[in-house]
């Protein structure tokens, strides 16, 4: 059984619906509950939940930034050219304008973070199984 299975029922915030809108930019199943999507506010806030093994493609936030507030489970954050960072509840990740990166669950755990995002997102190539499978939990 996967670790933190209870996360699929939501942690603090609802898990939301299957993240069909962004499915083409993810490997595996994710869920999205938009908490703030107000045209008068220049950031969006979403609760993103990843099933075990799920991660998003490499991507870049332009003309803005992204803040990840980890609410549960075990996951990864990696910037291009750098070692992956193992994430658990309470971790905060600051992603600045123009930094290529990806984030997602570990192979054997559910994972959830709040994503606060400003600007536009450029989606790039997927994180291959070959590179993802090499990641080792701390
Ligand atoms: Mn991101």
Q: What is the pLDDT of residues 81-122, one digit of tens each?
A: 999 999 999 999 999 999 999 999 999 999 999 999 999 999
Q: Are 71 and 113 in contact (CB under 8 A)?
A: yes
Q: How far is the CA of 107 from the centre of ligand 1 (A)?
A: 19
Q: How far is the CA of 59 from the centre of ligand 1 (A)?
A: 6
Q: What is the pLDDT of residues 46-69, one digit of tens each?
A: 999 999 999 999 999 999 999 999
Q: Which residue has the tokens 């669950």?
A: 105
**What DSSP letter does each residue of 30-98 carry, written as one string?**
EEEEEEE--TTSS-EEEEEEE-TT-EEPPEEEEEEEEEEEEEEEEEEEEETTS--EEEETT-EEEE-TT
Q: What is the pLDDT of residues 14-47, one digit of tens each?
A: 999 999 999 999 999 999 999 999 999 999 999 9
Q: How far is the CA of 17 from the centre of ligand 1 (A)?
A: 19
Q: How far is the CA of 6 from the centre of ligand 1 (A)?
A: 24
Q: How far is CA 108 from the centre of its chain?
A: 15
Q: How far is the CA of 3 from the centre of ligand 1 (A)?
A: 23
pTM for the full predicted model: 0.95
Q: How far is the CA of 29 from the centre of ligand 1 (A)?
A: 16
Q: Are 71 and 49 in contact (CB under 8 A)?
A: no
């Amino acid at each position: 059984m996967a670790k933190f299975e209870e996360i699929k029922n939501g942690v603090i915030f609802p898990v939301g619906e299957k993240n069909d809108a962004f499915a083409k930019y993810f490997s595996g199943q994710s869920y999205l509950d938009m908490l703030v999507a107000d045209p008068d506010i220049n950031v969006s806030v979403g609760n993103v939940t990843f099933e075990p093994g799920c991660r998003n493609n490499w991507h870049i936030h332009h003309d803005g930034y992204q803040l990840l507030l980890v609410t549960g489970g075990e996951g990864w954050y990696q910037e291009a050219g750098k070692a992956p960072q193992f994430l658990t509840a309470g971790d905060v990740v600051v992603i600045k304008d123009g930094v290529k990166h990806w984030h997602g669950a570990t192979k054997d755990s559910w994972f959830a973070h709040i994503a606060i995002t400003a600007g536009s997102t450029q989606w790039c190539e997927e994180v291959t199984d070959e590179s993802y499978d090499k990641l080792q939990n701390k």
